[in-house]
């Protein structure tokens, strides 16, 4: 991976997640992802965050910014805590994983 490209750290939590799962809080996700990136020597990290957005909809500000940076060839890698953070629609999530990212 080119070190000048962004290592995207994507975090998302919906209000429903926020009420039921403290381990998935935005701050917890950020700390986890930054620690993982540091341990694995992924540099030039940038957070893309959607706080309070459902994973069923991919028209989220953080995700849209991430997609734009990918299209502009700025991102070398995308990290997220787990695939449910990327999206809850598994077909669309699979599309992004296989064909877009």
CA dihedral 71, 73, 74, 80 (to 10 degrees): 60
Q: What angle do CA 27, 42, 21 make, to 5 degrees?
A: 25
Per DSSP, helices labelled H in 1-101 are 15-20, 26-39, 61-71, 83-86, 90-95
CA dihedral 50, 99, 43, 57 (to 10 degrees): 0
Query: Per-residue pLDDT tens for 74-84?
Result: 999 999 998 88
Poorest-pLDDT segment among 4-13, 26-35, 61-70, 80-89? 80-89
Query: Per-residue pLDDT tens for 29-58?
Result: 999 999 999 999 999 999 999 999 988 889
Give phi and psi for 38, each to the nearest 5.
Answer: -60, -45
Question: How far apart are alpha carbons 44 and 17 in whole angstroms?
Answer: 29
Task: Give the per-residue pLDDT at 14.
Answer: 79
Question: How crowded is residue 36: how many other Cβ atoms within 10 Å of its Cβ?
Answer: 15
């Amino acid at each position: 991976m080119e070190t000048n490209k962004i290592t995207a750290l994507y975090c998302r939590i919906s209000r429903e997640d926020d009420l039921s799962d403290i381990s998935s809080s935005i701050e917890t996700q950020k700390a986890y992802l930054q620690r993982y990136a540091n341990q694995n020597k992924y540099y030039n990290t940038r957070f893309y965050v959607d706080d309070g957005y459902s994973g069923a909809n991919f028209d989220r500000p953080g995700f849209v910014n991430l997609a734009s940076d990918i299209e502009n060839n700025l991102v070398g890698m995308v990290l997220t805590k787990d695939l449910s953070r990327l999206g809850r629609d598994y077909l669309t999530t699979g599309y992004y994983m296989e064909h877009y990212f």
